[in-house]
Amino acid sequence: MSSYVETWKGIAHALGRSERWCRYMARRSADPLPVFKVGGIVRLNGCDLEEWLSRQRDRSLGRPLELNTMADLLDDQAIQLSA
């Protein structure tokens, strides 16, 4: 059974953000905060939150952090340094 956070207040506290920011992030069209309602109560699964945060980190860095991508990046930098 996965852990989850209930209520906007609890979600905001878990993220260290305001309730308003959390609601905004849940409503945005591109990669929204993965919340869902159960009987009128909003919930956020811990594993879904970790995946979402990982995607946000990757997006802010401008690339996914994969071994192949890192190797390609290092090769590109080596080519630029030698040119």
Select the more confidently predicted residue: 52 or 76.
52
Which residues span the domain enclosing 12?
4-82
* Predicted model pTM: 0.66
- Total domains, the chain: 1
- Please enumerate in sequence order all residues whose Cβ is within 8 A of that of 7, keeping only pairs 6 or more positions apart, or say none: 41, 42
Select the more confidently predicted residue: 75 or 24.
24
Please report the sign of the dihedral spanned by the C-alpha atoms of residue 40, residue 41, residue 42, residue 45.
negative
5-29 pLDDT, tens digit each: 999 999 999 899 999 999 999 999 8
Among 10, 57, 12, 50, CA closest to 34: 50
